[in-house]
Amino acid sequence: MKHFSFTLPGRAAYVAATALLLNACAPAQDTPTPTAGLDLSHYLAVGDTYTAGVSAGGLTRASQQYSFPNLLAQQFQGISAGAAFTQPLLEAGSGTGYLNFVDFIASGLARTTRVAGQAFRGNLIITPGTCGTPDTTRLLARAATASALPQNLGIPGITLAQLEIVGLGNEVNAKPGTPFNPYFERLLPAADSRTYLQAVTDAAATATFFTYFQGLDDLMPYVRSGGQCGANAAALPSITVMRNNARKVLDRLTAKGQPGVIIRLPALTSLPFLRAGQGLGLQARLQASFGDTARIYIEDPIGLRGAQPITNGDYVLATAIARIGRPTPVVVNGATLMLPYGRDSRNPVRDADVLDNSEELSRIAGVMSSYNNELDRLASTIYKLPILTPSASTSTLDSEVLLFNQVAGIISVAGVQYSSEVVRGNFFSLDYYTLTPRGNGLLANTIIAALNRAYRTKIPAIDVNKLPATAQ
């Protein structure tokens, strides 16, 4: 069984490998001579929001075309005769809508407007009481590939906990209180009740290569809610369920000895949804903007103490940053006062607007760490994937070390800078979570560089600077 393994320990090793990667992205590069050390003729991509191609808060035909699997597949076609890649493309003018950039506010946050989605079918479904997930659902036009599963099985919003739910993609379940995913529904024929695991099993039967990048959509509802889901079904995800169900998917993907890339999840704090609101950095920006020395105060997450000064281990959610400092009514000693939100100890940032380091962040980080460790264990112990770097202890593509943590600083690709700042940073899109076309290009190039090293192939890198800065 021949699979792919890639990891690098720390920044020093990263610099050596990334130098080759970034040079390969330069516009003046000589195109590598394609050589096929892999059968990439039928590539299957499995995952959630990132794999599907969501960008700037929405899924559109353009964002699908710039998904990292589609960009990868375009490069694969140059070295594998007859290689093709099907996606469940939306029709032009349809989709969920997306965010459009307006300007920057004083805190450095990008101000956006929402461009409405078009060409929905069916009625609007409202599900009250959701936590960190959409409270409305609209059916989208069924994909042209619905008669045969597409090779991009990225499903926005799907969680590993939903892997074996019968009817998750059946329109009959499009009602409040019933598990249903409209993105999965549009991939299937009408009235199809197969589970997502069954769909993966069916698609994997003809696959010759795969990528697996799944799990962030299990974690993000907790993050978006500021850890306040409580007893709601979208509460802290089960480590056991995530680990067990990841193995079920990977067992199917590797059942016939197919080579593939298993991608570890990046640290949540490398995403601008959290990073933009990192405690002391946000506090300093607001002090400079307001011309004062006021601190940011947050609620005690367990309610035992009053307001407490923010630390650099606490993260105000990107969705709440614009409200920090705005006067809001607060009752103090029986009198209603207008106090700046979060910048007065009597009006601290609500716990739902922040992930604190002492409780909430440590919990969700623990889930992610356990999940990533299980991916490493599966890759090395169960699937016997080779370790590319002798000093490394993992057999997975470490997206944090190889890409996300580097972009959290600043990297340069052929003179163009990439960072974690939305808009100016070129990497993350306006929802402070998903990637731009260029960000997806860098992720694809990270995979390509790893494949070239592991298999001694010469898959051409993508000139990411020629990709658009936004998918719309």
132 has a pLDDT exceeding 50 = yes
Check: pTM over 0.85? Answer yes or no: yes
Query: Cα–Cα distance between 67 and 471 in angstroms, integer?
Result: 10
Per-residue pLDDT band for 80 (boundaries 50, 70, 90) equals confident
Which single residue is written with the structure tokens 């996606």? 87
How many whole angstroms separate alpha carbon 21 and alpha carbon 450? 9
Q: Name the residue with tokens 């898959």.
A: 459
Give the model confidence (pLDDT) of 404-451 as tens digits.
999 998 999 999 999 999 999 999 999 999 999 999 999 999 999 888
**Among 93-102, 224-233, 337-346, 362-371, the least confident range:** 224-233
How many CB atoms are located within 10 Å of the residue 442 CB? 28
Are the beta carbons of 299 and 348 closer than 8 angstroms?
yes
Look at residue 272 in the predicted model and tell me its pLDDT.
95
DSSP summary character for residue 401: I
The residue among 332 and 118 whose pLDDT is bigger is 332
What are 247-296's pLDDT values in tens digits? 999 999 999 989 999 999 999 999 999 999 999 999 999 999 999 999 99
pLDDT tens for 113-128 read 998 887 666 666 656 5
Q: Is 97 left (phi over 0), alpha (psi -120 to 50) or beta?
A: left
Other CB atoms within 10 Å distance of the CB of residue 16: 9
Number of Cβ within a 10 Å radius of residue 392: 19
Q: Which residue has the tokens 């800078």?
A: 417
In this structure, are residues 200 and 149 in contact, taking their beta carbons and an 8 Å threshold? no
Q: Which two tokens stand for residue 369?
A: 């760490």
The per-residue pLDDT of the chain, averaged, comes to 85
Q: Which of 43-47, 71-75, 177-181, 342-346 has the lowest mean pLDDT?
A: 177-181
Please say whether the beta carbons of 397 and 446 come within 8 A.
yes
Pairing of strands 297-298, 308-309: antiparallel
Q: At what angle do helices 196-204 and 239-253 cross, to 10 degrees?
A: 20
Query: CA-CA distances (angstroms) from residue 330 to 298, 325, 348, 354, 457?
Result: 15, 13, 10, 19, 64
For the chain, the C-alpha Rg in angstroms (whole number) is: 22
**Do 41 and 296 meet the contact criterion of CB atoms below 8 Å apart?**
no
> Smallest Cα–Cα separation from 332: which of 320, 344, 349?
344
Q: In whole angstroms, what is the distance from residue 422 CA to residue 419 CA? A: 8
Q: How far apart are CA 272 and CA 65, in angstroms?
A: 23
d(CA 43, CA 260): 9
Range 454-459 average pLDDT: 85
Eight-class DSSP state of 2: -
H helix runs in 210-300, sequence order: 216-224, 239-253, 272-275, 279-290
% pLDDT > 70, the chain = 84
- pLDDT tops 70 at residue 201: yes
Q: Is the pLDDT of residue 363 over 50?
A: yes
Q: CB 29: neighbour CB atoms within 10 A?
A: 13
User: What are φ and ψ of residue 66, in 5° steps?
Assistant: -105, 20
- Do you know the residue count of the chain? 472
Amino acid identity, position 70: N
Confidence of residue 11 (pLDDT cuts 50, 70, 90): very low
β-pair partners for 154: 47
CB 380 within 8 A of CB 4: no
